[in-house]
């Protein structure tokens, strides 16, 4: 489901000035080799660790930009977020181009990517995670029984304790959706824009909703695709995540059956079979093909991530992008 938000009325406390002095504008340069792409520039922006204390300790937010090359059609800036939470975003503008972002959007906007605070090339929250812990991601493996629930709870507790004891523990009270939304407005300010547009998916939709709530007069075109519940990833959101998986799994089964190259079988699973117990050790399923199927059919896209509830592809298809209101924005600019 796609929701376009014009504005949501709410308080605008802690708001920075509407526009930044030109001397404070970020200086763009080459991107790191691992995210470099044609036309993509990178920089970092200093923001307050605690937005309630703007003169206190500061952290860095990593930014990227695909600048419009058509000044006559340029409308403004389009910030992007592909979800997570915890996903990097500086490579997302290039990923959108690879997926077929319409030329009208590229003409109308400077496409802006960013690593949210605590993530990637921004000032990170590391929690001293081991490679094994990092490989688990932010979605725990399926709990097949009560023992698995206890096992996952112990793992979560261990990670929480590591976070509290790590060198980046000072970031924890300030790593939130609200703080990231205020970072968005600092980005808008630094770019010298009165308003920003925002293209978001999955968890990014919650970030967009919070931004428009905090700053109802500073959002232009806000696109929320695959929206979360209003409270975000709380307990109810987690419960609905599982329900969404159950509803959409028959579609995945049909896809897998139609693509024998994944080695997952050729017969879609009947809906009633979804509720039957699954063998604890699915040795018949080749692990390599399972890993491959988890990331396709968008394996060629940059910034791949596991599908969320109700999703098969990890990124929107060009056809989906062309249905977005932003895709036609270039045709509706004032003369």
Dihedrals phi, psi of 190, to nearest 5 degrees: -65, -30
CA distance 158 to 33: 34
Considering the entire predicted model, what is its pTM?
Answer: 0.72
Q: Which residues contact 229 (CB under 8 A, 6 or more apart)?
A: 236, 237, 240
Predicted confidence at residue 137, as pLDDT, reads 75
**Range of lowest pLDDT (138-142, 199-203, 328-332):** 328-332
H-run or E-run covering 294: helix 287-295
**Range of lowest pLDDT (6-15, 76-85, 241-250):** 6-15
Predicted confidence at residue 272, as pLDDT, reads 57
Q: Is the pLDDT of residue 29 over 90?
A: yes
Q: Where are the alpha helices (DSSP H) in 99-190?
A: 103-108, 131-135, 146-165, 177-190
What is the tens place of the pLDDT at every residue in 142-180? 788 899 989 989 988 999 999 999 999 999 999 999 999
CB 298 within 8 A of CB 314: yes
CA distance 231 to 332: 34
pLDDT cut 90: percent of the chain above it: 52
**Range of lowest pLDDT (2-11, 132-141, 200-209, 307-316):** 307-316
Confidence of residue 208 (pLDDT cuts 50, 70, 90): very high
Q: Return mean pLDDT, the chain.
A: 78
Q: Is the pLDDT of residue 289 over 80?
A: no
CB 37 within 8 A of CB 101: no
Q: For the residues 22-46, what does the mean pLDDT come to? A: 90
pLDDT cut 70: percent of the chain above it: 73
Q: For the residues 329-334, what does the mean pLDDT come to? A: 33
What is the tens place of the pLDDT at every residue in 62-116? 999 999 999 999 999 999 999 988 889 999 999 999 999 999 999 999 999 999 9
């Amino acid at each position: 489901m796609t929701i376009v938000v014009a504005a949501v009325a709410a308080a605008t406390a802690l708001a920075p000035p509407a526009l930044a002095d030109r001397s404070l504008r970020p200086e763009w340069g080459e991107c790191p080799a691992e995210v470099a792409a044609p036309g993509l520039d990178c920089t970092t922006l200093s923001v307050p660790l605690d937005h309630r204390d703007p003169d206190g300790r500061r952290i860095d937010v990593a930014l990227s930009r695909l600048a419009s090359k058509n000044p006559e059609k340029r409308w403004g800036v389009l910030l992007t977020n592909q979800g997570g939470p915890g996903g990097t975003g500086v490579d997302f503008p290039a990923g959108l181009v690879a997926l077929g972002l319409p030329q009208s959007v590229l003409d109308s906007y400077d496409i802006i990517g960013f690593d949210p605070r605590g993530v990637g090339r921004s000032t990170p929250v590391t929690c001293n995670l081991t490679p094994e812990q990092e490989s688990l991601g932010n979605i725990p493996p399926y709990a097949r029984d009560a023992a698995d629930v206890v096992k996952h709870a112990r793992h979560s507790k261990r990670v929480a304790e590591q976070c509290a004891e790590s060198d980046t523990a000072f970031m924890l009270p300030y790593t939130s959706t609200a703080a990231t939304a205020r970072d968005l407005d600092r980005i808008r300010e630094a770019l010298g824009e009165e308003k920003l547009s925002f293209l978001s998916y999955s968890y990014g939709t919650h970030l967009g909703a919070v931004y428009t709530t905090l700053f109802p007069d500073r959002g232009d075109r806000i696109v929320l695709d695959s929206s979360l519940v209003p409270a975000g990833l709380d307990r109810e959101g987690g419960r609905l995540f599982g329900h969404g998986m159950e509803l959409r799994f028959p579609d995945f089964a049909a896809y897998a059956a139609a693509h024998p190259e994944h080695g997952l079988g050729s017969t879609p699973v009947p809906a009633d079979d979804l509720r039957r117990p699954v063998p604890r050790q699915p040795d018949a399923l080749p692990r390599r093909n399972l890993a491959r199927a988890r990331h396709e059919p968008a394996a060629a896209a940059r910034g791949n991530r596991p599908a969320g509830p109700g999703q098969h592809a990890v990124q929107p298809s060009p056809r989906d992008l062309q249905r977005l209101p932003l895709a036609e924005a270039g045709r509706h600019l004032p003369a």
